[in-house]
């Protein structure tokens, strides 16, 4: 548990849609990351399981965009055919949009009320 949510690393490589379906089947969604602290919670969880740098799917697409603030580096400018968000940790949190049919592990998040 981190702050007001639980996060779970799912090591299976899946598309973004498959990863979201798995998270929803557990009562959550792909983890949404708005602030640096949330990104580093994910990094800490990845380190616990031996995935030091990612990349992993997180919540948000260009069609259903989860806003990112300036605490992150953008890895690339993105293009119209790359619509789903992943995050990596090579020194600091780095978000990027990639093709939704790429197969990556993911991080689920469940908000605790």
Residue spans per domain, the chain: 5-111
Q: Which of 29, 44, 100, 6 is nearest to 86 (CA)?
A: 100
User: Which pair of structure tokens corresponds to residue 19?
Assistant: 């990863």
pLDDT greater than 50 at residue 94: yes
d(CA 48, CA 102): 24
Q: Which of 107, 64, 60 is nearest to 85 (CA)?
A: 60
Q: What is the pLDDT of residue 62?
A: 56
- Tens digits of per-residue pLDDT, 32-76? 887 777 888 888 888 888 888 889 999 876 554 444 444 445 555
Rounded to the nearest integer, the mean pLDDT of the chain is 80
Look up the pTM and report it.
Answer: 0.79
Residue 18 or residue 61, greater confidence: 18
Q: Which fold has domain 5-111?
A: Mannose-Binding Protein A; Chain A (3.10.100)
């Amino acid at each position: 548990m981190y702050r007001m949510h639980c996060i779970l690393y799912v090591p299976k490589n899946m598309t973004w849609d498959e990863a979201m379906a798995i998270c929803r089947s557990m009562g959550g969604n792909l983890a949404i990351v708005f602030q640096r602290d949330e990104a580093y919670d994910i990094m800490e969880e990845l380190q616990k399981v031996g995935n030091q740098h990612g990349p992993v799917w997180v919540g948000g697409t260009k069609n259903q965009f989860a806003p990112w603030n300036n605490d992150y580096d953008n890895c690339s400018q993105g293009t119209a055919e790359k619509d789903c968000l992943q995050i990596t940790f090579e020194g600091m949190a780095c978000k990027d949009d990639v093709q939704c049919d790429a197969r990556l592990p993911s991080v689920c998040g469940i908000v605790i009320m």
